[in-house]
Amino acid sequence: MNVGQKVKAQVRERATILVAARLLSNVFRPSYYPLMGFFILLLFTYLSQLPWAYKVGLLIIVYLFTVFIPSVGVYAYRMTRKLSRQDLQLRHNRIVPYLLHVLSYGMLYHFLTSIQVPIFVRTIVVISLMVQVACIVITLFWKISMHSAGAGAIIGTLVVYASLFHFNPVWWLCAAIMVSGLVNSSRMLLRQHTLGQVLGGTFVGFTCGLMGIFVEAIL
């Protein structure tokens, strides 16, 4: 293999890695984590015995408040301010999208409380709210990775749920830690965040995941 072929091979390899990184960033968007959490609870806990119509309806509601409504709000904000997707990567432009998510998640929590959804299910929304608020405060002073915070929250939540429901979380934790590592790596490969920002996000999310059940108990 001559020098030209080696260069082309390296370019193709880097392009493949970047495509994989973008795919990971899109699949594991922060707004998708609550929906994933609800799906897992409805599939692997006693909630799996509920009627399919109820489970599908609940997932649709969660999707509307955590993905659809915030996305529409952020899009309207972008159009009003004439911002590109790249502009939203700037720290001062991320505050309003975060606030829109917090408002929508708050509405979801109020709705789930009104229909008396079990406390450990509502905790997912509480943890998501805590992550959002923590990232908003930190963003005022320092850019932090919301992707990493969401992945870290999953790890912290698993630790608490394993203690509450007395199940062996090893395989779940292995999967969550692997996903967290992949997400963190993708954000750095795409040059969206530094190592410190993804590690900081993971720590914030993990802490919120550990504390979420206690905050929900107070609420």
Residue range of the domain that includes 141 = 28-218
| Mean pLDDT across 105-134 | 91
Residue 91 has pLDDT above 80, yes or no: no
* One-letter amino acid for residue 94 of the chain: R
Domain annotation covers residue 41: yes
Tens digits of residue pLDDT in 4-60: 667 677 777 788 888 888 898 888 888 899 998 898 888 888 888 889 999 999 999
Domain annotation covers residue 6: no
| Residue 21 in tokens | 């990184």
Domain annotation covers residue 203: yes
Domain annotation covers residue 7: no
pTM listed for this prediction: 0.86
| Residue 127 in tokens | 């943890």
Domain annotation covers residue 4: no
Domain annotation covers residue 20: no
- Residue pair 66/35 in contact (Cβ under 8 Å)? The answer is yes
In angstroms, what CA-CA distances link 30 with 24, 38, 129, 151, 218?
11, 14, 11, 8, 25
Domain annotation covers residue 1: no
The overall average pLDDT reported for the chain is 87
Give the total number of structural domains in the chain: 1
Residue 72 has pLDDT above 90, yes or no: yes
In angstroms, what CA-CA distances link 27 with 91, 129, 165, 169?
22, 20, 28, 23
Of 84-98, 137-151, 155-169, minimum mean pLDDT range: 84-98
Alpha helices in 82-118 (DSSP H): 95-114
